[in-house]
Amino acid sequence: MVLYKPQKIYIEKAARPYPLTEKILTRLPGVPCEEIENAHALMAEIRTHRDPIGEGKRLLFLAYDKGRSFKPFPEAAQYLSCDYFTLHVAEGCDLECSYCILQAYLTNPLLTVFVNIEEMLFNLEAVLASNPDRFFRIGTGQLADSLSLDHLTGFSEILVPFFARQKNAVLELKTKSSNIERLKALNPAGKAIVSWSMNSRRVQQQEEHKCATLEERLACAEEMAARPGWRVAFHFDPILDYPDWEKEYAEVFREIFTAVPHEKIAWVSLGCLRMMPQLKPIMEERFPKSDAADAEWITGMDGKLRYFKPRRIEIYQQAVSLIRQWAPAVTIYLSMESPEVWERVFGKPVTKQDVCALLDRAGKSIAS
């Protein structure tokens, strides 16, 4: 994959004094940059473009985070969630997946990096220390790709040693990139997991633009799983329903579970495509060749468009059974599904506490 380079850098005035700002600028020689008081006028100008989302991705905004960086992942009461936390070090993504929820979710179109990372980690360390009996699973990949900008930000070199020192937390770096160069020199002592969002080959080629190919993602996963202290994970989210989907996903399951040692896989998640209603017209406008939105939808209990429940259950049952053929003991969970769907897929009632305990156990097991 081609690594990201912005057309222009904007620096928020409050972000100027931070060492990370300087580092990022030295990694982008020749790219024009401009200091601005804040991004309000710039965002308003971008919104006048024909494709504000695409325009925002071309501009890198170095910003100061005002203390909202660590928070629980938003949950919907009707679906089983897992008490996941996000560390909000960046916002927006340079990659271009047709189905990306950020297109509808983010009001800020700029590709934004928060440079006061040390302050964020200072605050996070205080939270972890004041909750010694609680285990935290924390990811940076909810509003951004965790690694696609790592050649510029070097966040991994700051975050991985920080988490290696923590007793009660594990970091998940979630990506569709092959940008693992900086990770190779790090040993997280079991406290960091690098996870790849995977899909069928067809979906990757048709819907996941600018991302690493499946082959590249799998090669990176194999390489990281072989490195001391690292574990990997895989997210099949979103799974798309189309004729013969199971044959194409089965091929990728086989490739993963015959290549990566199972004891190095922290977890595998499954989630059928779902979207905020506002995303559908954006997808259709920005990705006219995509047919991902051409499905029969119902409005779920969280207001998102989802495949019909019986179909989701069927898809998960088939996916779990296909994965189990290759990896009978790997931890599998469903992403934002109802207790009823969990029960139908795994054959027993499951509570939120069960899901949290399952993932805490998987998160705590230390890789050698």
Min CB(286)–ligand SF4 separation in Å: 11
Question: Among 5-13, 92-100, 159-167, 300-308, which window interacts with ligand SF4 (CB under 6 A)?
Answer: 92-100
Gap between the Cα atoms of 160 and 152, Å rounded: 16
Write the secondary structure of 15-43 as one string of H (helix), E (strand) and C (coil).
Answer: HCCCHHHHHHHHCCCCCCEEEECCCHHHH
Min CB(86)–ligand SF4 separation in Å: 13
- Which residue lies nearer to ligand SF4 by CB, 271 or 339? 271
The count of other CB atoms within 10 Å of the CB of residue 353 is 10
Torsion of CA 256, 258, 261, 266, to 10 degrees: 30
Full strand arrangement of the beta sheet holding 298-299: 274-275, 305-306, 298-299
Among 176, 191, 274, 312, binds ligand SF4 (CB under 6 A): 176
- Which residue lies nearer to ligand SF4 by CB, 209 or 361? 209
- Which residue lies nearer to ligand SF4 by CB, 18 or 114? 114
The answer to whether 95 contacts ligand SF4 (rule: CB under 6 A) is yes
Gap between the Cα atoms of 305 and 214, Å rounded: 27
The answer to whether 102 contacts ligand SF4 (rule: CB under 6 A) is yes
Question: Among 81-89, 93-101, 154-162, 337-345, which window interacts with ligand SF4 (CB under 6 A)?
Answer: 93-101
Min CB(102)–ligand SF4 separation in Å: 5
Min CB(124)–ligand SF4 separation in Å: 22
Gap between the Cα atoms of 117 and 136, Å rounded: 19
Reported as half-sphere exposure (CB side, CA atoms, 13 A), residue 50 has a value of 2
Min CB(106)–ligand SF4 separation in Å: 10
- Which residue lies nearer to ligand SF4 by CB, 137 or 174? 174
Min CB(95)–ligand SF4 separation in Å: 4
Scan residues 131-160 and list those touching ligand SF4 (CB under 6 A): 145
Please name the residues in contact with 190: beta carbons below 8 A apart, sequence gap of 6 or more. 170, 229, 231, 365, 366, 367
Query: Could you list the residues that contact ligand SF4 (CB under 6 A)?
Result: 93, 95-97, 100, 102, 145, 176, 211
